[in-house]
Amino acid sequence: MQRLSGKTAIVTGSSYGIGRGVAMLLAEEGANVVVNYSKSEERAQSAVSEIKEQGSEALAVKADVSQSDEVRKLINVCVERFGRLDILVNNAGILPFGSIEEITDEILDRVFRVNFYGTFYCCREAVPVMKKQRYGKIVNISSIAAKRGDNTTAACYGSSKGAQSVLTKSLARQLGPFGINVNAVAPHAIITPMIDYWDQKKRDEMKERIPVRRLGTPRDVAVAVLFLVSDEADFITGQIINVNGGYLMDS
């Protein structure tokens, strides 16, 4: 039996990378999926076709999550088309590089606007719909950097994800009474365009440092998201689950 039949999901930034993997798995489990994208329409349409081939409904909706008016439209289009919104996965994110001296106001602003404001805006628009349903599952895609700080990436990336972690916990506390669960998944070393900058040497070294001795795939993240949005996870909220092959183990 499919675990999400009759449910509707929005996955931000799901034309490629982890978001696409999540969109595909939720659809495989029977959810209708809104594939959000900001630039790559062709890839978003190909994700929609792939989902439809699996027998679920899907819709590609363009929206830059850093813009509140575009996020409002994204949520409205979903509710108009499917009549509800059960699952929101805040996946869209960007990764900047550079020392603190190199991070301009514009870069800092952009990173927080996409990674933190984007999550905030999507939750702000989705929550009234979910409250009315007295049902909702929100999963934010965090990062290992939110837990242990940035190593080679710009210090503002982990900070933006850290802010998102606190938002995850705050919303979990405030929305639990309305039947809405809010969790996050913190990946590391997942093979997507985001880690294209890792050369073969870095990939091989990383594999050696990961207990399960491989890099992760979008599917590895998607299965954790699927669990958190399923009814089996009703008693789990405010958690930030590591998906990193054991690279970071925290309590």
What are the residues binding ligand NAD (CB under 6 A)? 12-13, 15-19, 36-38, 40, 64-66, 91-95, 114, 141, 143-144, 187-190, 192-195
Contact 35, 48 (CB under 8 A): yes
By C-beta, is 15 or 181 nearer to ligand NAD? Answer: 15
In whole angstroms, the minimum distance from the beta carbon of 1 to ligand NAD comes to 29
Residue with tokens 């950097």: 145
Nearest to 192 by CA among 123, 241, 143, 248: 143
Catalytic site residue from 121, 157, 197, 247: 157
By C-beta, is 18 or 59 nearer to ligand NAD? Answer: 18
- Please name the helix (run of DSSP H) or strand (run of DSSP E) that holds residue 140, with its range, or none: strand 136-141
By C-beta, is 123 or 135 nearer to ligand NAD? Answer: 123
Contact 63, 48 (CB under 8 A): no
- Whether 117 sits among the annotated catalytic residues: the reply is no
- The residue count for the chain: 251
Token duo for residue 170: 């705050």
In whole angstroms, the minimum distance from the beta carbon of 218 to ligand NAD comes to 7
By C-beta, is 33 or 135 nearer to ligand NAD? Answer: 33
In whole angstroms, the minimum distance from the beta carbon of 134 to ligand NAD comes to 28
Nearest to 144 by CA among 135, 152, 134: 152
In whole angstroms, the minimum distance from the beta carbon of 122 to ligand NAD comes to 10
Token duo for residue 46: 């190909």
By C-beta, is 197 or 232 nearer to ligand NAD? Answer: 197
Q: In what order do the strands lie in the sheet with 180-187?
A: 58-62, 32-37, 8-11, 87-90, 136-141, 180-187, 240-243
User: CB burial class (10 A; 0-12, 13-18, 19+) of residue 116?
Assistant: buried
Token duo for residue 171: 């919303």
In whole angstroms, the minimum distance from the beta carbon of 146 to ligand NAD comes to 9
Helix axes 118-133, 155-175, angle to 10 degrees: 10
Name the residues annotated as catalytic.
157
